[in-house]
Amino acid sequence: MNALIMIPLAGAVLAALWPDNRTRPWFLPVVGFLHTALCFLLLVAPPPVSPEAWIGFDPLAAAVLPAVSLLFFVCGVYAVPYLRIRQERPNRVFVAALLAVLGLLSAGHQARHLGILWIATEAVTLAAVPLLHFNNTPRAFEATWKYLLVGGTGIALSLLGSFCLGYSSLHGGGEGDLTFVALTAQGAGLSRPWVLAAWVLLLVGYGTKMGLAPMHTWKPDAYGEAAGIVGAILAGGVTSVAFTAILRIRSVVNAAGESQVADHTLLAIGLFSMAAAALFLLGTRDFKRMLAYSSIEHMGILSIAASLGPLGVWAALFHVWSNSLTKGTLFLSAGNIRRAAGSPSLDDVRGMAHVVPRSAAIFVAGMFAITACPPFGPFFSELKVLGAAIKTGHGLAAAGFLACLLFAFFGLTRVVFAVVDGRPRPAAKAGGKLFRETFGVISPPLVLLILSLWLGLFTPAILQDTWTAAVAQLFPNP
Amino acid sequence: MMIVRIFLWVALAPLLPGLINKVKAWVAGRRGPPVLQLYYDLIRLWQKGVVLSTLASPAFVVAPAVAWVAIACAAFLVPLGPAGAGLSFRGDVLLMVYLLALARFCTAWAALETGSAFEGMGAAREVSYAVLAEAAMFAAMLSLAVQTGSVSLVDMLSPAPGAGTALLAAGLFIVLLAENCRVPFDDPNTHLELTMIHEAMVLDHSGPPLAVILHGASMKLLLFAVLLTAAVLPLGSLPPLAAAAALAGGVLVVTLGVGLSESFLARFAFRHMPLLLTMAFLLCLFSLLVAWKGGAA
Amino acid sequence: MSGGLVFAAVCLLAAMAMAQRSTRASFALTLAGTLAGLVASLTILLGPDDWEWTGAFFLGGERVHLRLDGVSAIFLVLVCVIGGAGAAYAREYWSDSENPATAARGRVWWNALILSMGLVLMISNGLHFLMAWEAFALCGYFLITLDNRRPEVRKAGWLYLASSHVGTLALFAFFVMLATHTGTWNLGPVRDVPPPLFWLALFGFGMKAGFFPFHIWLPSAHANAPSHVSAIMSGVAIKMGVYGIVRFGGWLPVPANAGHVVIGLGAASAVLGIAFAMAQNDIKRLLAYCSVENIGVILIGLGGALVARTHGNAAWGQLALAGALLHVWNHGLFKSLLFFGAGSVLHATGTREMSRLGGLWRSMPWTAGFFALGAVAVSGLPPLNGFASEWLIYLGLFEAATTRSGFAWAALPSAILLAMAGALALAAFVKAGGMIFLGTPRTKPAAHAQESRAGMLAPMALLAAACAVIGVAPGLVWPAIARAAGSWNPAWAVARTPFSTLGPAGFALAILAAVAGFWLWKKSRANGLRRDLTWDCGYRNPTSRMQYTSGSFAGISAGWFFWAFAPERKFRRPRGPFPSGSLRLERVSETVLERLIVPAGAIITRLSHAALGLQHGRLQAYILYLVAGLAALGIFVFLEGKP
Amino acid sequence: MISTLNLLIGLAMGLNLVALGSSRLPSLIRTVSTQGIALGLMPLILEGSNLDWRIILIAGATVAGKGFVIPGLLRRAMRSANIEREIQPFIGLMPSLLLGAGGTIAAIALASALPLLPEHAGSLLVPGALASVLTGFILLIGRAKAISQVCGYLILENGIYLFGLLLIKATPLLVEAGVLLDLTVGVFVLGIIIDRIQRAFDSLDTRKLTTLHE
């Protein structure tokens, strides 16, 4: 029915059946390429979406899904050399699960029905499990266990929330049509207490998947233990599904006339997440967990932006793009450094600029990019967020936003330069010998960095129009 | 005219220390050295050879000359009552003050040339106390400027006697004592190096350089005396001859004043000097405020 | 005009590209680029009209728009001069042979720094300004940390980066608010924005300008950077902050009391800056703190100009402004000269501690001479350039005082404080010069120092010449300064030079001093000149340990600023008839940093460790957090949704 | 029929308390499976008048899944880890019982604040659901053994299922399918992970699972 979902799932099945461990990884770039090509094709020529369709490539999907697809494609290219290094592990499940994740992500992004949305997100959560314990170490299992239980609880809550929303529609006299179009149309008819209950539960539920504090606890463990690609796709793809879910639900809550409550909750939880992330960043001594905290910070930015009306949501969609691409750079280059150093902890890693100069340079550049240093993408998107905050008169929120950015910057620079500068340890030198910086492992993060640069400097008109269309979809009557 | 002016400054300057010493001698009931003593010293020194520290660079000899030139130029800017200044322009007062600073820089630099502890000590004291003296000096100049509404010495130094004049006179007099290293700041004719400022700085100088330094010092003293007199007396409003006489008289009075203060005051302990200088500064500041308010009223 | 600037940009880019392959080619390109830029900016300053260029393409959705007017040109001249001189100096000082790992990298960042500073000065679009600004800040960081294997360098670099980012974020807010109020990112004179916006700009740019109390990053960064980098950071980079304040002080409607605040900041940073400088023992720290003072001097002038402009364009304001702008140049010149000198000393002896130097004039006569000249200039003494600009500022303040108008009251205290700062500067640089170059060597390395090669001396000679020329002939530069003042405030466009007499006077002074010095030297030689031990009151065996040290030299004034230094003291008195060991250590602390910032940072760090304690890995607690979050949100929504 | 339904819900709520009070894992698992069977029967009662294949399918699937499959899996894991009882839980049995009782009361109070459709009025569905959810949370937070945590998670899911019954008529199969998928796949994965952990740490005591922290 929907090629964007079917291609990857079919790919997953094929990969699962594919006999050869050495050639199997090629599925990732190939399928990724097909998916990306299709995505951008649809972006240029948007297909008609019937209002009652349960799954459709509507403006909101078009505004976010291509970014995820692009990220997945580049990560797929990276996966080939990476999995060659990791010959010792059978990658059947890994590749298949990765492709399944892509398919389910596409489903989640295109879901226009409460139930479908929930099932897709749930399925993504489960499909990601094999990716997490790919390394097959006790640490990986522990991370997976926490990811499953915390994430599962979150997902359960979001299901409860979906029920509440459904019941609010029933109670308001609806006859059980749970497409967002129908719910929005019902608008003020929805029963208020149920809508509020649903909002809280869904925000917490999908917030858990997004990784908003205080539901973020699974993130550092999962990102810290997972391979670079997995981290990139979790941080750039899965979080964005949860975010679009929150946006869709939020539009229903708006229609029910509770937009103020929604905005305030989003702002509060966003600021709290940013502050918490900044604090964690100031203290952490592990440069992969650092990325997780940075991701939490950016989820906070997204939810703050989402609370700032149409302008803010536009900026948020922009930020989804810049964040995914830049995070990709960071995760992949960090993965290289991690391989070469043999440890993610500042206690035994330093002077990597002398061991893996290229990866280190990309890592530093990516760090500056993610901390909103011009001229990379995040700079422009966060400036837009700031502008939205000031235009809508949220002066204090803007101040808090800047303060959190500042402390996050302190934390990130502290860690990154500790990793990169100084004299390398002899052990690390040896690791550098083992890990060679081939074109295959250097170009993907570099490409992502360049994409983030390009996104900021020359934001394509087509994307801007799509974001505007998505905002129009979310705010039908501004 | 210019020649006369230069001659006046150069030739008359060494009189002042002589006079001061005479006064001190009279007060002490001694006969004391002749008034022209410094002239004799200068002549003798000018013919003597030079003993140069093994550590010193040529700057050790050149610096005193530059300092002397600086003081001479400063003097050139100071109006002599009716005769006016050798060179007068908007803001010349600042040039004058900074020329004296240049002289200070040179002497202090030369003092450090020899690596002697005493000279370093002297230089440190000189440059440090100058900070407060400079503040007082600027307050005084500002009050003159505010009072006369001009920033050129010729006009500034012929003020109508204002309410602040007495304060200004007192302040400037203390600055004079400090800048010229007289008692109670310094004792020109002690021989205990530990207690000296200016004399300590020139310990290692000899021959012509020393002569230049001594003459420069006397010229600086004269400069301050003229400045003080002109700042206090309304010379502008007097007929030329009377003004000239008043100026000469004023300088004489200042000299006597210095002599008397030296005979009746003892050298202060070093830790008291900042207090005294601060007092001078406050006096000048008050005169400035008086001038400012007076203008407003 | 456009051609020249494009050529300059291309040259600098090419120099970055060539940095790895050929030192000589890269240097030649840098030189060509800076020269082209210099010519371009001078043509602007000497010509009547500004240069403006609007690109055909967009960056970040904004059309590229460059403008070079009097104000920018003044700063651009400095960028080009020091950029070229520093590149020349670096060839010897940071040569490929001595620093194979970092020399080429240094060249790349150097050219990038020049380029980005030039862009900061020319860009007239808020969004692009931020981009160039950050690029410039980062280039500075990578230059400071060239030798990042040394931990103290890393610390200094991080401090620089962190405080620079504080300023940058303030500027984010500033430019976004500006754009929100004006509705466009284009920069230019604006009328209808709330005056308080100026405070944000003052803070944001102040972090970079490094005046009290925003100087926390400055001493360590400038002390630990390679000396040619210290030179451009201290002489030029902090001027970018000044540029921002000048620029937006001229374009924005400023609050009524802005001028007085700026004067206050300037006076405070002039006196305290030089007081701290006086107390330093590390020569490069001393120079860095002296930069704090000079920024203060510039601010006093600028503040005067702001006061004058907000009160009917009083004429004296123009003098103050001209003084400030000229001092931007002068400080750039002599501070770079001094840092080059300090660099040569460091290069020759391997130490920056003045208490380990001494007597270097014998082995390094040229360096000593240039340093002495720089010292005279920085002390603002005639007949050198430092005096010319300070004289203008003084003149402005004095004339303000003579008006006796109520708003000019600030002129009185600031003039007096400026005078004290000047006297302290004199003391500080007599000390610096004396301790480094005079007396006897205090350590072996100092005794066996070698004079730097011509490659390092030539740039110093160039800067020294510039200082002397501006000093004895300030009339030459007046048209440029007046042009800049005019483009800052059109009401002050026309002005006749105030230097008509001062210039010749200075010239005469220089000639007379030279003649007199030469004559006295001859005379002494003629009378017979005998070398002998220093007459140390008859002591026949003076050693280097008997010399006055930099600490004791600063003792008196340090006593006065005890309250600001909050020094850490260690003191063991000599005891008994035959005292064994006794010592007296005194370390002047970075008061603002160590008494304010560090404790605050410690509190935040403790907070973050408390937070990390929550991430203890127990799953049950994680789920508890989740439930707590749910409950909190529920209550929040319940309270929100009640009405 | 509401009365019979409420009887079953009351039974489920009682079982919550039993689960909270039981220290031995087999009895805990048994409680959960009983509750699952009880829940499975509810659709039949709720729709007693007009049974169609959909309802029967759901009921059957639920009884099979919640009542037998999953408990079976858990028992397997328990045997392989040969642990019998929950030793020193984070929240003791007595406190958890009290908490559960308080939670149940709170659930009833909270439920009364939420408006219901006439046909659901008087049913204990909402309070029952909330009570189970709370019980699930208490077990998740309070127990140290992985298996008891899974049981807690199951009770949480049961609560949500209970709530889903409100919508069973109106909303399509999807949502319920969601529940089942969630449960089956979830527990399936949990089962795998559990015995992986079992092999990796040779214990199912989550106290050992705290190597990942700051």
Reported as a pLDDT band with limits 50, 70 and 90, residue C136 is: very high
Please report the pLDDT score of residue C192 as a whole number. Answer: 87
Given CB atoms, is A377 within the 8 Å cutoff of chain C?
no
Structure confidence by residue, pLDDT tens digits, C197-241: 999 999 999 999 999 899 999 999 999 999 999 999 999 999 999
Residue A58: inside a domain: no
Q: Is residue A218 part of a domain?
A: no
Q: How far apart are CA C41 and CA C30, in angstroms?
A: 16
pLDDT value, residue D182? 63
Total of domains in chain A: 1
Strand partners, C186: C125
Average pLDDT over residues B25-38: 92
CA-nearest residue of chain C to A258? C641
The full DSSP string for B15-40 is HHHHHHHHHHHHHHT---S-TTHHHH
pLDDT number for residue C348: 95
Cα–Cα distance measured from residue A241 to residue A239, given in angstroms and rounded to the nearest whole number: 5
Number of residues written out for chain C: 643
For D208, which residue in chain C has the nearest alpha carbon?
C618
Q: Which has more pLDDT, B196 or B173?
A: B173
Chain C partners within 8 Å of B123 (Cβ): 430, 434, 548, 553
Condensed to tens digits (0 to 9), the pLDDT of residues B205-217 reads 999 999 999 999 9
Cβ-defined contact of D196 to A141 (cutoff 8 Å): yes
Residue from A131, A133, A103 nearest A119 by CA? A103
Determine whether the interchain pair A153/D156 forms a contact, defined as Cβ–Cβ distance below 8 Å. yes
Res B293: pLDDT: 85
Interface test with A, best of C136, C169, C624 (most A CBs within 10 A): C169
Lowest mean pLDDT among A435-444, C243-252, C576-585, C629-638: C576-585
Following DSSP, what letter does each residue of D13-52 receive, concatenated?
HHHHHHHHH--BHHHHHHHHHHHHHHHHHHHHHHT-SS--
CB contact under 8 A, C616 and D213: yes
Q: Which residues pair with A113 in a beta bridge?
A: A179
Task: Provide the pLDDT for residue A317.
Answer: 97
Question: Which member of C131, C158, C604 has the closest CB to residue A282?
Answer: C604
Q: Does D88 touch chain C if contact means CB atoms closer than 8 Å? A: no
pLDDT given for residue C507 in this prediction? 95
Contacts of D209 in chain C (CB under 8 A): 617, 619
Chain A residues with CB under 8 Å of D163 CB are 160, 163
C618 touching chain D per CB within 8 A? yes
Is B269 strand, coil or helix? coil
Q: B127-136, B152-161, C230-239, C531-540 — which is least confidently predicted? A: C531-540
- pLDDT digits over A395-404, tens only? 999 999 999 9
Q: Which residues contact B250 (CB under 8 A, 6 or more apart)?
A: B225, B226, B228, B229, B230, B232, B233
Spatial contact of D189 and D156, defined as CB atoms under 8 Å apart: no
Q: What is the pLDDT of residue D58?
A: 79
In chain A, the percentage of residues whose pLDDT exceeds 70 is 98
* Chains touching D (3+ CB pairs < 8 Å): A, C
List the domain range (segments joined by +) for residue A438: 268-478
Instruction: For chain D, 214 residues long, give each residue's pLDDT as a single digit of tens.
Output: 678 888 999 999 999 999 999 888 899 999 999 999 998 888 888 777 777 777 788 788 888 888 888 888 888 878 877 777 766 788 888 999 999 999 999 988 888 888 888 888 888 889 999 999 999 999 999 988 888 888 898 899 889 888 888 887 777 555 566 666 666 566 666 666 776 777 777 777 777 777 778 7
* Greatest distance between any 2 Cα atoms in chain B: 63
- Across the interface, whether the CB atoms of C619 and D144 are under 8 A apart is answered no
SS3 C569: strand
Whether residue D182 and residue A144 make contact (CB cut-off 8 A), yes or no, is no
A456: closest CA among A374, A388, A363, A368?
A: A374
Model ipTM?
Answer: 0.94
Instruction: Please answer whether residues D82 and D10 qualify as being in contact, where contact means their C-beta atoms are separated by less than 8 angstroms.
Output: no
Structural domain includes residue A239: no
| Least Cα separation, residue A118 to chain C (angstroms) | 19
CA-to-CA distance for C300 and D208, rounded, in angstroms? 66
Task: Tell me if chain D has a CB within 8 Å of the CB of A160.
Answer: yes
CB A82 within 8 A of CB A229: yes
**Minimum Cα–Cα distance from B139: chain C residue:** C416
Q: List b or e across D33-60, with b for residues whose CB sees 16 or more CB atoms inside 10 angstroms.
A: bbbbbbbbbbbebbbeeeeeeebeebbe
Nearest C-alpha in C relative to A398? C173
**pLDDT cut 70: percent of chain C above it:** 100
Q: Smallest Cα–Cα separation from B219: which of B261, B180, B254?
A: B180
- Residue B296 confidence class, pLDDT cut points 50, 70, 90: very low
Query: Within an 8 Å CB–CB cutoff, is residue A154 touching chain C?
Result: yes
CB contact under 8 A, C624 and D141: yes
Average pLDDT over chain B, rounded to whole? 91
Q: Which residues of A40-61 are buried (b: 16+ CB within 10 A; e: fewer)?
A: eebbeeeeebeeebbbbbbbbb
Chain C contact present for A368, CB below 8 A? yes
Which one, of C497, C490, C481, C491, lies nearest residue C315 by Cα?
C491
Scanning A396-425 for CB atoms below 8 A from C yields: 398-399, 402, 405-407, 409-411, 413-414, 417, 421-423
Whole-number Å distance between alpha carbons of C365 and C261: 44
| pLDDT score, position B297 | 39
Quick check: B208 and C547 CB within 8 A? no
A121 close to D180: Cβ distance less than 8 angstroms = no
Q: What is the pLDDT of residues C94-122, one digit of tens each?
A: 999 999 989 999 999 999 999 999 999 99
Coil, helix or strand at residue C257: coil
Q: Is residue A158 part of a domain?
A: no
Touching subunits for chain C (3+ Cβ pairs under 8 A): A, B, D
Which chain D positions have a beta carbon within 8 Å of A170's beta carbon? 117, 166-167, 170
Greater pLDDT, D151 or C536: D151
Angle at C144 between CA C389 and CA C449, to 5 degrees: 80
- Does the pLDDT of residue C478 top 90, yes or no? yes
- The residues with which C62 forms a beta bridge, in sequence order, are C59
Task: Name the band, by pLDDT with cuts 50, 70 and 90, for residue B235.
Answer: confident
In the stretch 98-157 of chain B, residues with CB closer than 8 A to chain C read 98-99, 101-102, 104-105, 108-109, 112-121, 123-125, 127-135, 137-139, 142, 145-146, 149-151
Say which of D137, D144, D211 has its CB closest to residue C617: D211
CA distance B103 to chain C (A): 10
Residue of C nearest to B103 (CA): C381
The whole-angstrom distance between residue A378's C-alpha and the CA centroid of its chain comes to 14
Q: Which residue of C has its CA nearest to D148?
A: C620
Checking if the pLDDT of C538 tops 90, the result is no
Considering only CA atoms, which of A174, A161, A146, A171 is closest in space to residue A207?
A161
- Which range is least confidently modeled, A130-144, A457-471, C362-376, C440-454? A130-144
Contact residues on chain C for A423, CB-CB shorter than 8 A: 149
The CA distance from A291 to the nearest CA of chain C, in Å, is 15
The answer as to whether A228 is a domain residue is no
D/A Cβ contact: 3+ pairs below 8 Å: yes
What does the pLDDT look like over A233-272, one tens digit per residue?
A: 999 999 999 999 999 999 999 999 999 999 999 999 999 9
Q: DSSP characters for B184-252? A: TT--TT---GGG-SHHHHTTT--HHHHHHHHHHHHHHHHHHHHHHHHHHS-GGGS-HHHHHHHHHHHHH
Task: Confirm or reject contact between C624 and chain D (CB < 8 A).
Answer: yes
Distance from CA of D214 to the nearest CA of C (A): 6
Is the minimum CB–CB distance between D167 and chain A shorter than 8 Å?
A: yes
What is the per-residue pLDDT across A379-390, written as a single tens digit (0 to 9) for each? 999 999 999 999
Residue C631 pLDDT > 90, yes or no?
A: yes
In this prediction, residues C174-194 reach a mean pLDDT of 93
Radius of gyration of chain B (CA): 19
User: Is D206 in contact with C619 (Cβ distance < 8 A)?
Assistant: yes
Shortest CA distance from C101: residue in chain A: A354
- Given an 8 Å threshold on Cβ–Cβ distance, is C630 in contact with A157? yes
- Based on the number of CB atoms within 10 Å of its own CB, is C182 exposed (0-12), middle (13-18) or buried (19 or more)? middle
Cα(A418)–Cα(A86) distance, rounded to whole angstroms? 27
- Residue D178: predicted pLDDT: 62
